A and B are shown apart, each in its own frame.
Chain A
Amino acid sequence: MAGIGFRLEKILSYDSYVNLLQGYAYSAIVSAGPLLCTIFTIAFLTIVLPGNLPYAEIMIFRTLVVYVYAVTLITTAPAQMIITRYMSDRIFLNDRQAIVPAFVGIIAISLVIHAIFGATAIHLVELDFASSVTAVILFLAISIVWIAMIVLSAAKEFIRIVKSFFAGSALSVVAGFVLGKQLGLLGLLAGFTAGQVLLVIMLVAQIFTEFEYRKQVEFYFLEYFKKYMALAFIATFYNIGIWADKFIFWFTTQTGVKIHAVLHISPVYDIPVFVAYVLVVPTLAMFTIRVETHFYIHYRKYFLSILGKHPLSSLEERRKNIIEVLRVSMGRMIVMQGTITVMGLFIAPKVYMYFGMSPVNLGVLQIAILATFLQALLQTLLIIILYFDFRMDALAMSAIFAATNVLFSVYSIDAGLSWYGYGYFLSCLAALIAGFLLFNYRMKHLLYYTFVSQKIIVHSETVAAPQ
Chain B
Amino acid sequence: MSDICLVLEGTYPYVQGGVSSWVHKIVSDMPDIRFSVLSIMPTPADTKVERYVVPGNVESIINIYVHDHHFRPRFFKTKISRLFEFFEMFYRGISQASRGDMERFLLDLIRHRDQLDLVHAFSSREFWKAVTSLYEKGDTTISFLDYFWNYRFTFLPIMQILKARLPPAPLYHTISTGYAGVACALAKIKFNSHMIVTEHGIYTKERRIEIAQASWIYERETEYVRATEELGYFKDWWTRYFGVMSKLAYSYADSITTLYEGNRQLQMEDGADPKKTSIISNGVDIGEFREIAKNRDKSRKRKTIAFIGRIVPIKDVKTLIKACKIIVQQMDDVKIFLIGPQEEESQYYQDCMMLVKMLGLENNVIFTGHVEIKDYYPDIDIVVLTSISEAQPLVLLEAAACGIPAVASDVGSCRETLLGATADDKALGPSGIVCPFHSPIETAEAALRLLTDDDLYRAMSDAGQARAERYYDDADMVNAYRNLYEKYI
A positions within 8 Å CB-CB of B: 1-8, 11-12, 306-307, 309-313, 315, 445, 448, 451-452, 455-458, 460-467
Contact B10 A3 (CB under 8 A): yes
Can you name the residue of chain B whose Cβ is closest to the Cβ of A458? B67
With known contacts A456-B156, A464-B17, A6–B178 Cβ distance under 8 A: no
Contact A456 B144 (CB under 8 A): no
Residues of chain B contacted by A451 (CB below 8 angstroms): 128, 148
Contact A466 B17 (CB under 8 A): yes
Can you name the residue of chain A whose Cβ is closest to the Cβ of B242? A3
Contact A2 B180 (CB under 8 A): yes
Residues of chain B contacted by A456 (CB below 8 angstroms): 69, 122, 152-153, 156
Contact B69 A467 (CB under 8 A): no
Can you show 10 pairs from A to B with CB atoms below 8 A apart? Answer: A1-B18, A1-B206, A2-B11, A2-B200, A3-B179, A7-B216, A310-B144, A452-B127, A466-B309, A466-B314
B446 on the A face (CB < 8 A): no
With known contacts A3-B9, A452-B128, A464-B17, A312–B178 Cβ distance under 8 A: no
* CA of A147 to CA of B26, assembled, Å: 68
Contact B132 A312 (CB under 8 A): yes
Contact of B175 among A2, A462, A464, A467 (CB under 8 A): A2
Residue-wise interface mask of B (443-479) relative to A, using a CB-CB cutoff of 8 A (1 in contact, 0 not):
0000000000000000000000000000000000000
Min distance, Cβ B380 to any Cβ of chain A, angstroms: 15
Contact of A311 among B140, B156, B180 (CB under 8 A): B140
B66 on the A face (CB < 8 A): yes
Contact B210 A5 (CB under 8 A): yes
* CA of A460 to CA of B14, assembled, Å: 14
Within 8 A of A (CB), among B1-53: 8-11, 14-21, 40-43, 46
Contact B218 A467 (CB under 8 A): no
* CA of A5 to CA of B152, assembled, Å: 16
Contact B141 A311 (CB under 8 A): yes
* CA of A461 to CA of B43, assembled, Å: 10
B255 on the A face (CB < 8 A): no
With known contacts A3-B207, A8-B153, A307–B9 Cβ distance under 8 A: no
B306 on the A face (CB < 8 A): no
Known: A312-B144, A462-B46, A467-B394. 11 other contacts (CB 8 A): A1-B18, A1-B19, A2-B175, A4-B9, A310-B143, A312-B140, A452-B127, A458-B153, A462-B41, A467-B393, A467-B395
* CA of A12 to CA of B146, assembled, Å: 10
* CA of A315 to CA of B14, assembled, Å: 44
B135 on the A face (CB < 8 A): yes
Min distance, Cβ B390 to any Cβ of chain A, angstroms: 8
* CA of A165 to CA of B44, assembled, Å: 57
Contact A3 B206 (CB under 8 A): yes
Can you name the residue of chain A whose Cβ is closest to the Cβ of B150? A8
Min distance, Cβ B156 to any Cβ of chain A, angstroms: 7
Residues of chain B contacted by A1 (CB below 8 angstroms): 17-19, 200-201, 206
B344 on the A face (CB < 8 A): yes
B84 on the A face (CB < 8 A): no
Residues of chain A contacted by B215 (CB below 8 angstroms): 7
Contact B41 A466 (CB under 8 A): no
Q: From A8, A307, A464, name the one whose CB has the most chain B CB atoms within 10 angstroms.
A: A464
Contact A2 B140 (CB under 8 A): no
Residue-wise interface mask of B (287-308) relative to A, using a CB-CB cutoff of 8 A (1 in contact, 0 not):
0000000000000000000001
Residues of chain B contacted by A445 (CB below 8 angstroms): 125
With known contacts A458-B42, A467-B309, A8–B15 Cβ distance under 8 A: no
Contact of A309 among B69, B146, B156 (CB under 8 A): B146
Contact B145 A2 (CB under 8 A): no
B142 on the A face (CB < 8 A): yes
B194 on the A face (CB < 8 A): no
Residues of chain B contacted by A462 (CB below 8 angstroms): 10, 14-15, 41-42, 46
B247 on the A face (CB < 8 A): no
Within 8 A of A (CB), among B139-164: 140-149, 152-153, 156
Within 8 A of A (CB), among B347-367: none
Contact A467 B145 (CB under 8 A): no
Residues of chain B contacted by A5 (CB below 8 angstroms): 10, 210
* CA of A458 to CA of B153, assembled, Å: 8
Contact A11 B149 (CB under 8 A): yes
B203 on the A face (CB < 8 A): yes
Contact A460 B18 (CB under 8 A): no
B176 on the A face (CB < 8 A): yes
B229 on the A face (CB < 8 A): no
The 4 closest A-B pairs by CB, nearest first: A465-B17, A460-B42, A309-B143, A2-B176
Contact of A2 among B19, B125, B314, B340 (CB under 8 A): B19
Residues of chain A contacted by B207 (CB below 8 angstroms): 3
Can you name the residue of chain B whose Cβ is closest to the Cβ of A5? B210
Residues of chain B contacted by A3 (CB below 8 angstroms): 9-10, 176, 178-179, 203, 206-207
* CA of A212 to CA of B471, assembled, Å: 72
* CA of A466 to CA of B313, assembled, Å: 12
Within 8 A of A (CB), among B424-448: none
Residues of chain A contacted by B153 (CB below 8 angstroms): 6, 8, 456, 458
Residues of chain B contacted by A312 (CB below 8 angstroms): 132, 135-136, 140, 144, 147
